[in-house]
Every structure is written in structure tokens, then in C-alpha cells.
């Protein structure tokens, strides 16, 4: 196209809508993401981290790797359900004879996606923030003063905890890790480190990542955690979605309905009050009335019906933090069903409908699952408290506006980032099955 024609076209675009360069009338719009927003890791560290992330040797049972729950085919989450029904992937070798779905169901855990966690603004991990890096560089973690020295960032600290958390990883069948579990986290980390030390195929990648090492027996849990952090911090980067292209100046990158959705998101729908910033999260905790139960949980069932997920008040000791939920990033949200911290909604549209009118949405969720029967007192109490504490205002939008908002959320999708940069390795040094 000739320069004059281009100029006229962009002038026309400028005057046709009220979004111009995105700054003046949309003050909340983030700046485009830049390379320096991310921590830097060496490729050798990332490669080693990839092997460890996929290696089931790091679980007591030899049945679970990080990738079991953060899978490249499920956008770094565990998904649980696809449009075709329950996702059976990885079930063949699941835990204690149960399918992955059944095994993880009691703890009702929906694993969050791991996009962009290498950006240095991500300093708070988990739904309750129990792992975090303070301003002065020190770490908060469940290990307190027992945390190993030399961990390079908050992702390295986080990487220590799956291995010591719950029956899924430590295992309920006898194994070397379970045998020492009663001695504490340090003993579990030591047992896992020894497993890695016994695998000669780990020597080349460890030596490449840490040239100062002389032999496998010098490896510590810190080397392992730092390498996993390098992988997690690099693998699921997603900063090149249509929304990013739009922010960088390509106004054709969004469809007209997505542009309208963007205006709502950063304007009258008020989403950016919490979902602000480059990754659509303020990293804050908010009293938002979303269900604490998975979409398939029986509210009249066993203890799992009462499972309260990661209550921030337990961490801070402040009653005001009870049921506060962390604002999740919305990158690739189209692909990370089910939705809500607990995975309460199967579809994004369903979640959004409830999120736009949170107390009515929660009541409807409960009503559907109880078929109108009176709830067990404990469940009813939680519902009442969630409603009483909710601070997310209800927003009235037309059907068309809701579909525009959904269209905008899809502009945060970057399909080529879903599987990760390195993807699955061909084989891991333990030769155990890959997820
Ligand atoms: C049994 C399933 C499971 C396994 C295995 C697992 N995770 Fe997770 N992961 C989860 C769940 C569930 C959460 C959310 C927990 C919470 O918020 O309290 C989580 C949270 C995280 C987070 C924090 C994300 C955020 O936004 O706060 C990171 C990072 C992470 N996992 C990485 C790993 C790594 C690395 C491994 C292997 C060492 C691993 N996970 C193994 C289920 C799993
Ligand atoms: C008061 C803060 C706040 C506002 C305002 C807000 N959200 Fe949220 N949002 C949250 C929190 C907190 C969660 C996590 C809920 C949970 O843990 O179940 C969430 C969850 C979500 C999710 C689910 C993400 C996932 O991976 O499960 C989507 C989508 C979402 N919000 C979109 C929006 C949109 C669109 C708007 C504007 C209409 C909006 N939010 C307004 C705080 C907010």
C-alpha cells in the first residue's frame, strides 16, 4: 500500500472509534510487555529444568511429575474436563490404582496454568500467597527457617513444595520418601536429591547447567529447585497474543467486537480494577463470592464437600482475609477450563455470567447442585459468609456486551504458547514414563 493511503486509513481508524492510541481515554491500559520484564535464565538451566519437571522420579510414588498436573496438552493446567467429557490423559499410570481424575478429586484441586510466571512482577504464589518474595528479597514459605539456602527466586521456592504436599506426591504406598516423611521436609528433599544423584544420565545436563559441579553427589535440592524455576519461568511465556499486537500499535489485531470488549474491560465493566497490569492481575487478594467447590462436587457428600480452598486468613491470621481470593492472570484463559480457583465452572461463559453478578451467581451454583434441598449447615454457613463478605459489585451488561467481553478475553489467547517452548522431552534420565 502507498504511504499516503496507509496514512489516510489510519486517520480514518483513529476517528472512527473512541479508542485512539489506547492511552488517553483508557488510563488503565497496560504498557506492552517487554523483554526486560522477565527474569533471565541460561538455556542449560532451562533444559535441565525441563527434564526434572517431566521426571516422575521426584515424587515418592514414582507416579507423578510436575507435568501430571501442569500438562502441555492442557495449557499447563490439569484441565480435568474437555468438551468431550472427563479428560482421561495420563490415567494409565495414575495414583494408587485410581485414575488421575479420581485420585485428585478428593482434594478437589484444580491446578492453575503457569503462563508468564518468569515475569519479575510474579512474586506471590498459590491461591493463598503462602509462597512469596518480600521487597527485601527474602522469602515467605511454609518451611519458615528450614528453607534451603541459595534459592534464586520465588519459583525456585515454589518448586520445593509439590514434593512435600499431600498423599499425591509423597505417596500412600511404602517408598523411600514416605519412610522419611515424618522427619520433615528436609528429609524428603534429601531423599529425592539422592534419587537424582543415582541417575548417571543426569550428570551431563547438571554439569552443563552448573559448570562448577564436579560430580553428581554434590547436587543439592537447591540445584534441582533453581533449574525447575528456570524452566517454569521460561516455558509458558505468552506475551504475543492479539491483545499484545494491538497494544504495540497494530489496531487491526483485534476484531471490532474484541475492541468493544476491551473498552468494557478497561472501562465501565470495571474488570481492570483487579485484572489490571500487563498480565491482567494485580496479584492482590479480594473478597469475591465465587464457589469454593469444584463443578462436580456433591455438596451433600463426604468431607470434600466442606473442603475450603487455601484460606488466606490461615496464613495472615486476619479475619478480614477469610475467603479472599487471589486475582488470577487471564492469559490464555480461553484454554484453561474449568474456571474459578476451585474449578467450579466448566465454561468461561458460565463463569463470567456468575462473576458479573457474584452473589446471585453463587446462589445459583449452590441451588443447581442441591436441587433446592436445604444444604448441610456447614456448607450453608460458608455460602452466607461468602455473600456477606463479597466486594465484587454486580455489573449490568447487555447480552451483546457480554459476548464482546468474552471476545476480548479470547484476544488474550496465543495458541502457539499453549504447549510451551521446549514441550515434552523425548525421554527423562530415570526412563520413567512421561506424562
Ligand atoms: C497433584 C497435582 C500437582 C502437581 C504434581 C504439581 N502441581 Fe503445581 N499446582 C497444583 C495446584 C493444585 C496448585 C495450586 C495450589 C494453591 O493455589 O494452593 C499448583 C500451583 C503451582 C504453582 C503456582 C502458580 C500460581 O499462579 O500461584 C506453580 C509455579 C506450580 N504449581 C509449579 C509446579 C511444579 C514446578 C511442580 C513439580 C515440582 C508442580 N507444580 C507439581 C497442582 C500440582
Ligand atoms: C474485585 C476484584 C475483581 C474484579 C473487579 C473482577 N475480577 Fe475477575 N476475578 C477476581 C478474583 C479474585 C478471581 C478468582 C476467583 C476464584 O478464585 O474463584 C477472578 C476470576 C476471574 C476469571 C476466572 C479465571 C480463571 O482462570 O479461572 C475470569 C475469566 C475473570 N475473573 C474475568 C473478569 C472480568 C471479565 C471482569 C470484569 C467484568 C472481572 N473479572 C472483574 C477478581 C476480580
Burial of 102 (0-12, 13-18, 19+ CB in 10 A): middle
Residues with CB under 6 A from ligand 1: 53, 64, 66, 68-70, 104, 109, 111-112, 114, 117, 125-127, 155, 158-159, 162, 168-169, 228, 232, 310
Share of the chain above pLDDT 90, in %: 62
Residue-wise pLDDT tens digits, 30-58: 999 999 999 999 999 999 999 999 999 99
Q: Are residues 84 and 126 in the same domain?
A: yes
Q: Are residues 169 and 248 in the same domain?
A: no
Q: Please check whether residue 421 lies inside any domain of the structure.
A: no
Residue (of 425, 421, 329, 274) closest to 115 by Cα position:
329
Q: How confident is the model at residue 365 (pLDDT cuts 50, 70, 90)?
A: very high
Which of 81-85, 371-375, 398-402, 412-416 has the least mean pLDDT?
A: 81-85
Residue-wise pLDDT tens digits, 402-433: 999 999 999 999 999 999 999 999 999 999 98
For the chain, the domain total comes to 2
Question: Does ligand 2 lie within 6 Å of residue 39's CB atom?
Answer: no
Are the C-beta atoms of 19 and 25 separated by less than 8 Å? yes
Grid coordinates representing 307 are 473442603
What is the reported pTM? 0.91
What pLDDT is attached to residue 4? 46
Q: How confident is the model at residue 182 (pLDDT cuts 50, 70, 90)?
A: confident
Share of the chain above pLDDT 70, in %: 83
In Å, how far are 173, 182, 381 from 59, measured between CA atoms? 12, 16, 37
Q: Which of 390 and 106 is assigned the larger pLDDT? A: 390
Looking at the predicted structure, is the pLDDT value of residue 92 above 60? Answer: no
Provide the 3-class DSSP secondary structure of residue 54.
helix
What pLDDT is attached to residue 23? 43
Q: Please check whether residue 178 lies inside any domain of the structure.
A: yes
Q: Are residues 188 and 299 in the same domain?
A: no
Q: Are residues 173 and 277 in the same domain?
A: no
Domain boundary among 216, 238, 260: 238
Q: Are residues 277 and 381 in the same domain?
A: yes
Task: Tell me the C-alpha distance between 427 and 433, whole Å.
Answer: 8
What pLDDT is attached to residue 410? 97
Phi-psi region of 371 (alpha: psi -120 to 50; beta: other; left: phi over 0): left
In Å, how far are 119, 352, 361, 383, 391 from 287, measured between CA atoms? 26, 17, 15, 13, 6
Looking at the predicted structure, is the pLDDT value of residue 91 above 50? Answer: no
Q: Please check whether residue 17 lies inside any domain of the structure.
A: no
Looking at the predicted structure, is the pLDDT value of residue 187 above 90? Answer: yes
Extract the runs of DSSP E, i.e. beta strands, from 307-366: 325-326
Q: Are residues 254 and 333 in the same domain?
A: yes
Task: Tell me the C-alpha distance between 395 and 71, whole Å.
Answer: 34
Nearest-atom number in ligand 2 for the CA of 348 is 29
Q: Please check whether residue 169 lies inside any domain of the structure.
A: yes
Q: Please check whether residue 164 lies inside any domain of the structure.
A: yes
Question: Does ligand 2 lie within 6 Å of residue 353's CB atom?
Answer: no
The CATH number of the domain holding residue 372 is 1.10.760.10
Residue with CA closest to ligand 1 atom 6: 66
Q: Are residues 314 and 334 in the same domain?
A: yes
Domain around 51? 43-238
Q: How confident is the model at residue 250 (pLDDT cuts 50, 70, 90)?
A: very high
Looking at the predicted structure, is the pLDDT value of residue 248 above 80? Answer: yes
Grid coordinates representing 163 are 514434593
Domain boundary among 222, 238, 254: 238
What pLDDT is attached to residue 391? 94
Q: Please check whether residue 423 lies inside any domain of the structure.
A: no
Q: Please check whether residue 425 lies inside any domain of the structure.
A: no
Q: Are residues 61 and 114 in the same domain?
A: yes
Residue-wise pLDDT tens digits, 262-301: 999 999 999 999 999 999 999 999 999 998 887 777 788 7
Q: Are residues 208 and 345 in the same domain?
A: no
Burial of 217 (0-12, 13-18, 19+ CB in 10 A): exposed
Q: Determine the distance separating the centroid of ligand 2 and the alpha carbon of 281, expressed in angstroms.
A: 9
Q: Are residues 217 and 253 in the same domain?
A: no
What pLDDT is attached to residue 101? 58
Q: How confident is the model at residue 118 (pLDDT cuts 50, 70, 90)?
A: very high
Query: Most confidently modeled of 20-24, 108-112, 330-334, 336-340?
Result: 330-334
What pLDDT is attached to residue 306? 62
Q: Please check whether residue 368 lies inside any domain of the structure.
A: yes
Q: Are residues 158 and 269 in the same domain?
A: no
Q: What is the dihedral of CA 388, 363, 275, 117, to 10 degrees?
A: 100
The length of the chain in residues reads: 435
Q: Which one of 60, 62, 90, 112 would you pick to mutate in the ligand 1 pocket, going by the greatest count of ligand atoms within 8 A of its CB? A: 112
Q: Are residues 284 and 364 in the same domain?
A: yes
What pLDDT is attached to residue 298? 78
Nearest-atom number in ligand 2 for the CA of 324 is 12
Q: Determine the distance separating the centroid of ligand 2 and the alpha carbon of 355, expressed in angstroms.
A: 7
Q: Peptide bond preceding 401: is omega within 30 degrees of 0, i.e. cis?
A: no
Domain boundary among 178, 211, 238: 238
For residue 67, the surrounding DSSP H or E stretch is: helix 66-69
Amino acid at each position: 500500500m502507498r504511504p499516503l493511503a496507509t496514512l489516510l486509513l489510519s486517520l480514518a481508524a483513529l476517528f472512527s472509534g473512541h479508542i485512539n492510541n489506547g492511552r488517553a481515554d483508557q488510563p488503565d491500559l497496560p504498557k506492552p510487555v517487554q523483554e526486560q520484564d522477565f527474569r533471565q535464565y541460561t538455556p542449560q538451566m532451562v533444559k535441565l529444568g525441563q527434564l526434572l519437571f517431566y521426571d516422575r522420579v521426584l515424587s515418592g510414588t514414582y507416579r507423578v511429575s510436575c507435568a501430571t498436573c501442569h500438562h502441555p496438552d492442557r495449557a499447563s493446567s490439569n484441565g480435568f474436563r474437555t468438551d468431550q467429557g472427563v479428560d482421561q490423559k495420563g490415567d494409565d499410570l495414575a495414583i494408587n490404582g485410581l485414575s488421575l481424575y479420581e485420585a485428585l478429586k478428593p482434594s478437589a484441586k484444580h491446578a492453575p496454568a503457569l503462563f508468564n510466571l518468569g515475569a519479575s512482577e510474579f512474586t506471590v504464589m498459590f491461591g493463598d500467597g503462602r509462597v512469596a518474595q518480600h521487597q527485601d528479597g527474602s522469602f515467605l514459605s511454609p518451611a519458615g527457617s528450614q528453607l534451603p539456602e541459595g534459592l534464586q527466586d520465588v519459583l525456585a521456592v515454589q518448586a520445593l513444595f509439590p514434593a512435600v504436599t499431600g498423599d499425591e506426591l509423597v505417596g500412600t504406598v511404602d517408598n523411600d520418601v514416605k519412610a522419611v516423611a515424618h522427619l520433615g521436609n528436609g528429609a524428603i528433599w534429601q531423599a529425592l536429591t539422592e534419587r537424582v544423584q543415582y541417575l548417571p544420565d543426569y550428570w551431563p545436563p547438571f554439569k552443563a547447567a552448573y559448570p562448577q559441579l564436579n560430580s553428581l553427589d554434590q547436587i543439592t535440592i537447591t540445584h534441582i529447585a533453581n533449574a525447575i524455576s528456570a524452566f517454569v519461568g521460561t516455558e509458558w511465556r505468552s506475551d504475543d497474543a492479539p491483545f499484545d499486537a494491538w497494544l504495540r500499535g497494530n489496531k487491526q489485531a483485534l476484531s471490532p467486537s474484541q475492541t468493544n470488549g476491551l473498552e468494557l474491560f478497561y472501562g465501565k465493566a470495571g474488570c481492570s480494577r483487579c485484572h489490571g497490569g500487563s498480565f491482567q492481575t494485580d496479584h492482590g487478594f479480594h473478597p469475591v463470592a465465587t464457589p469454593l467447590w469444584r463443578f462436580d462436587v456433591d455438596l451433600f457428600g463426604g468431607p470434600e464437600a466442606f473442603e475450603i480452598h487455601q484460606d488466606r486468613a490461615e496464613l495472615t491470621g486476619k479475619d478480614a482475609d477469610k475467603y479472599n481470593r487471589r486475582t488470577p492472570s487471564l492469559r490464555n484463559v480461553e484454554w484453561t477450563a474449568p474456571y474459578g480457583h476451585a474449578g467450579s465452572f466448566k465454561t468461561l461463559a458460565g463463569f463470567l455470567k456468575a462473576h458479573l453478578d457474584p452473589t446471585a451467581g453463587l446462589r445459583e451454583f449452590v441451588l443447581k447442585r442441591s436441587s433446592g434441598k436445604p444444604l448441610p449447615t456447614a456448607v450453608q454457613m460458608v455460602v452466607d459468609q461468602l455473600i456477606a463478605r463479597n466486594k465484587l459489585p454486580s455489573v449490568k451488561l447487555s447480552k451483546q456486551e457480554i459476548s464482546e467481553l468474552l471476545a476480548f478475553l479470547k484476544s488474550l489467547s496465543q495458541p502457539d504458547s499453549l504447549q510451551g517452548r521446549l514441550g515434552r522431552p523425548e525421554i527423562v534420565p530415570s526412563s520413567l514414563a512421561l506424562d
